Amino acid sequence: MAIRYRFFQQWQVAVTDIALQSSKIASSILDLIGNTPIVDISELSPNPKASIFIKLEGQNPGGSIKDRVALSMIETAEREGLLTRGSTLIEPSSGNTGIGMALICRVKGYKLKVVMPPNVSKERRELLEIWGAEIIDSPDGEGSNGAVKLARKIASDHPDWVFLYQYANQANPKAHFENTGPEILRDLPNITHFVAGLGTSGTLIGVGSYLKQEKPEVQIWAVEPPAGEVVDGLRSLDDGYIPPIFIENNGPLLLDRKTVVGPRDSIIWTKKLAEVGIFAGISTGAALSGAIKCANSIDTGVILIISPDAGWKYLSSEIWTLSIDEAVERTKSTIYF
């Protein structure tokens, strides 16, 4: 009995400490967006003098880095008086932005329509439906370009709907300039290389501009998925698309390197992350593959990669259980990036 009591006293001290350090109750789920943790994964680095860290954006309440973008765009529109309770928003998204917006629209009382290619993973569609968003299918085989094109057309046909358009909305990179970037420098002040995926370019522009402003020697590396089947839908190179926020914010001058990572390497590194306990989405594997290349090309450094989301939405891809060849084949028919 005396022994049990002694343990209990120890536990009580420990519990009190934890409770005092982290006693914080959020008044809204939206208050939990941002301030994501960074984890040291240097054991995966091929270069013992190049450490690699990962910022886990999957810890956001909507499950991805896009919660930050969605919140920033919606709250900017509110301040500008574009949104009133019951407003309808329309947005092209092959996943995460739509999901983040759906969560925020549900909490704030807006209606959301998401334009997306038909071949996105099942989990993404379900998440959108959970938070009440309506899905509009864009033409098969045209990828994100097709979704962008259709959303623009629908938005011009319905001038009363609010079209925030993440590819051209400055609130997208601003979210990263004001929050993600400062969080990174606060938690990892000795960073030398920042590696992130290139989609709308919001993360790279926002974080990259902040880091270059505060610590100009930091190198900014962009990792992009291969265009894949999307390319087959283009009729000419003039159908190409560069996000307006990339051009308006001098993206070409900001980046130090841009490299393509294919599905095979993305899957290999996504699986390796699971071996060190990190269950991440496939685009995280692509970013890590870029970081490995970076680690191999430098003598010494501190590399940070962004993990845009966790693995949950990709379980139906079965990449963790299939062989690499089968997993690569599977990603050809469905958009997982």
Partner 1 sequence: MEVEVRLPTVLRQHANGAAVVKVDAANIGEVLSELASKYPGMSGQLLTESGELHKFVNVYLNDDDVRYLDKLDTKLNDGDTISILPAVAGGSD
Residues that bind partner 1 (CB under 8 A): 64, 66, 93-97, 143-145, 147-148, 166-167, 197-200, 224-227, 230-232, 234-243, 252, 255-261, 281, 283, 308-309, 335-337
Nearer to partner 1, 61 or 226 (CB): 226
Placement of tokens 């917006």 in the chain: 101
Nearer to partner 1, 87 or 203 (CB): 203
The amino acid sitting at 138 is S
Structure tokens given for 27: 């008044």
Structure tokens given for 72: 């920033």
271 annotated active-site: no
Query: Which parts of the chain fold into alpha helices (H)?
Result: 2-22, 66-79, 96-108, 122-130, 143-157, 171-175, 181-187, 202-214, 229-232, 244-248, 251-254, 263-275, 282-297, 324-333
Nearer to partner 1, 51 or 290 (CB): 290
From 94, 121, 201, 283, the catalytic residue: 283
Closest CA to 194 of 3, 38, 12, 16: 38
Three-state helix/strand/coil letters over 85-130: CCCEEEEECCCHHHHHHHHHHHHHCCEEEEEECCCECHHHHHHHHH
Nearer to partner 1, 234 or 274 (CB): 234
Residues 6+ apart with CB under 8 A from 118: 137, 138, 140
Nearer to partner 1, 51 or 265 (CB): 265
The minimum distance between CB 256 and partner 1, in angstroms, equals 6
The minimum distance between CB 64 and partner 1, in angstroms, equals 8
The minimum distance between CB 111 and partner 1, in angstroms, equals 21
**SS3 (DSSP) at 38:** strand
66 annotated active-site: yes
In residues, how long is the chain?
Answer: 337
Closest CA to 333 of 72, 58, 117, 98: 117
From 66, 174, 212, 313, the catalytic residue: 66
The amino acid sitting at 42 is S
The minimum distance between CB 237 and partner 1, in angstroms, equals 5
**SS3 (DSSP) at 155:** helix
The minimum distance between CB 147 and partner 1, in angstroms, equals 8
The minimum distance between CB 13 and partner 1, in angstroms, equals 45
The CA distance from 302 to 110, in Å, is 42
Nearer to partner 1, 63 or 301 (CB): 63
Give catalytic residue positions: 66, 283
